[in-house]
Structures are given as C-alpha cells and as structure tokens.
Homo-oligomer: A and B are copies of this chain.
Amino acid sequence: MDFGFDARTEELRQRLLAFMDECVYPAEEAFEAQAAESGWTVPPLLEGLKAEARERGLWNLFLPGEHGAGLTNLQYAPLAEIMGRSPRIAPAATNCAAPDTGNMEVLAQFGDERQRKEWLEPLLRGEIRSAFAMTEPAVASSDASNISLSITRDGGEYVINGRKWFASGAMNPDCRILIVMGKTDPEASSHRQQSMVLVPTDTPGVHVRRGMHVFGYTDADHGGHGEIDFTDVRVPVANLIGEEGGGFAIAQARLGPGRIHHCMRLIGMAERAVELMCARALARTAFGKPIAQQGVVQDWIAESRVKIEQLRLLVLKTAWLMDTVGNRGAHTEIQAIKIATPREVEWIVDKAIQVHGAGGVSQDFPLAGLWAAARSLRLADGPDEVHKRSLAYRELKKHVTPPLS
C-alpha cells in the first residue's frame, strides 16, 4: 500500500502544474465570458488549450493501456486532482473529461476493431465528442433493472424506442455518437436484460428534445445533459457493444473508473475552495477584524483540511486497490469514496461560499458552480443511499452464517 508518487507521476504533475499556471487559470475569466454568451456551444478558446495540452504531452492521461497514456489509477489520481482545480477547463483541455472518458474506456475495453476505429480514434484525437444515455425520466434509474428503453432486433438491425434524459454530453455540437443502454431481453434475469449500442447522433429518429438544467446551470460548456427521444431508430447489429445482455456488466465496468475520476477531481475542487476561502477570509474585514480571525471561520478551515486529508488518502487507497486487485476487489472502497467525497466536498464548498457572502453564490467566483457539481454527484452514478445499502450488505455478510439473503 504505497501511495508515493513515482518518477513518471511526479514528472507529469510538474508538467500539468505548469500548464495550469501558464494556460488554464489565466483563461478562466475569458472562458466564463464565452460560456455565458455561447448558448449550447463550447467556448471557442478551448480548442487552443487542447492543442497546447496535446503538445505538452498532457493528453488522454486517464486511459490505461495502449490506447491512452497508459497510467495506473494511482498515477492518474494526483493528476486528476490537479485538473479538478479548474474543472470546467482542465479536463476538457486534456481530453480527460466525462462522459468521453468513460465512453472511450468502454470502446477500448469492449469495442471491436471497427467500433474503435470509427469512434474511439476520433475521440482520442479530441475531434468529436460523445454522450452516454442510461438514465430515463420515467423510472428510478438507480435500479438498473428498471431501465426500459426498448432495443429490438429486426434482421440485421436493432430498432430503438424510448426516452432518455441526463444524457451527458448530448448538447455538445461536436457530439457525434451516443452510447445507449436499453432492454434487449425483458425475459432474461434482471442483470442480463440490458445491452449497449452505439447510435450516431444523426441517425433518423434520434431527437434531442432539450437540455436539462442542474441548479440553474446548463453545463453547456461540457456538453450539457440532453433529453433524447428515440423513435424507431435503426442501427446495424454491428453497433452492439460486447454481447447482448452485457449492458449491465459494461455499465458496472464503466462506472468504477468514472466514480474514482469524479472523486479525484472533487478533491482538487475542494482544495480550490479552501484556497478561495482562506484568501477571502484574509482579505475581508468585518466588525473590526479580518474574517480569518473569526473562530467559526477558523473552524470551517480546519474541518476542511481534516476532511480533505482523509478523502485523498481513501481515494489513493482505492486507486491502488483497483490497480492491484481490480475493480471488483475495490468494490467497498469505490462505494466508500463515492459516498464520502461528494458530500464532504459539498460541505467544504458551502462554507467557502458562506465566507464569500453574496459573491459566493454568484458568477464571479467558481464556488456556486463547484457546489452544483458536488451536489449532483450525490445522485450521478447512483445515489448515495443505493451505495450505502449495498456496502452495508457486504459489511453485514462478514458477520453472518448462513449469509443474509
């Protein structure tokens, strides 16, 4: 259980920190201004940052194996944390942004050669974007067996009918491909009913109805969250990812890394919030002394540090476990960070907002946006309560013979 940075990690950290200082932070104000004006378009300056990041060798760092940078989770963790400090720019600039990261992982791991050539390669080059369509408005999607979009085989094609929402990335004008989860066999056992298929966005019958909001935000800059109707959409059976009935397993495989990436970035978001909180507390005076000298504010700062230290260590341990015993062996830890990190980071950001007064809830600081991101992650990829229930079952099983049904 060694969490130290090896030489490659340290080298990449330095390179990434320089990129943040030289390119990302200086671009934040202009990025927000462009985002405020651009509707459902990605701020134009992002392309320049992408070119710069690629030139600096800061590209596809998230992806293990031959297709990406080939880092372990433990190596990637401190890098993702740094990216999380500017979460609207840095992940996208380095081609490490959700949902494309997860989609690329799926294609790298489960896609066949044609699928990889047609969609993974342009995604890896950052030429196109993608979306992931799993959640449905009509059912409690935290229970994957509820998912009801229908995928029916008709000769050499699948016919798709149903509605998805919160399909992340779908509002991005560069989004070319959707990974869609749906039901191919309602009669199969509950975890073998679903399959995943690739659906190009321009396929007839695909209708993006609207972008969903998240606490008033459109999240347009990273592709938004689309509500999509699928009406008699036809794709060749070759667009199936993996095997029929394998959708649940692929979703699980996709969500493990996705969850830890979110947590890594959340820690960077928390560090950013603490920096802003301290700076503001030192800069502002009320009732005759800097706010930094108020005991309650000091309490928040101390608690924030105590929380961050614990979260980071647990994320590192989880990464190390995923690298050494695999995602299955790290199940408890993945759930633990998924439960703890969004919630605690939400707490930290809330306190940073409070220290900023009205400014804290406004567009002048990144805090309100960070808060909405952290809050949403208490729901995204499964609500906390589902993870806690599952984790508790595993804990209880340690203590029971015969096993709890």
Contacts and interface: CB of A to CB of B under 8 A. Distances in A.
A396 interface: yes
Interface in A350-405: 353-354, 357-364, 368-369, 371-372, 375-376, 378-380, 383-389, 391-393, 395-396, 398-400, 404
A23 to B, nearest CB: 23
> Copy number in this complex?
4
A143 interface: yes
Contacts of A364: 137, 212
A212 B395 contact: no
Contact of A216 (B3, B215, B302, B393): B215
A3 B321 CA distance: 13
Given A302-B395, A399-B278, A212 B354 contact: no
Contacts of A213: 216, 361-363, 368
Interface in A298-351: 298-299, 301-306, 309-311, 313-314, 317, 332-333, 335-336, 339-340
A388 B298 contact: yes
A76 interface: no
A4 interface: yes
A140 interface: yes
Interface stretch (A100-108, A125-133, A281-289): A281-289
Interface string A123-158: 000000000000101011111001000000000000
Closest 8 CB pairs of A and B: A216-B216, A295-B295, A216-B217, A298-B392, A2-B2, A302-B388, A313-B313, A310-B310
Given A165-B358, A214-B361, A305-B392, 20 more contacts: A1-B4, A2-B4, A3-B3, A137-B359, A140-B291, A146-B286, A166-B362, A225-B358, A274-B395, A294-B295, A295-B296, A297-B392, A298-B396, A301-B396, A302-B388, A302-B389, A310-B313, A353-B379, A354-B384, A361-B372
Interface of A: 1-4, 135, 137, 139-143, 146, 165-166, 212-218, 225, 274-275, 278-279, 281-282, 284-287, 290-292, 294-299, 301-306, 309-311, 313-314, 317, 332-333, 335-336, 339-340, 353-354, 357-364, 368-369, 371-372, 375-376, 378-380, 383-389, 391-393, 395-396, 398-400, 404
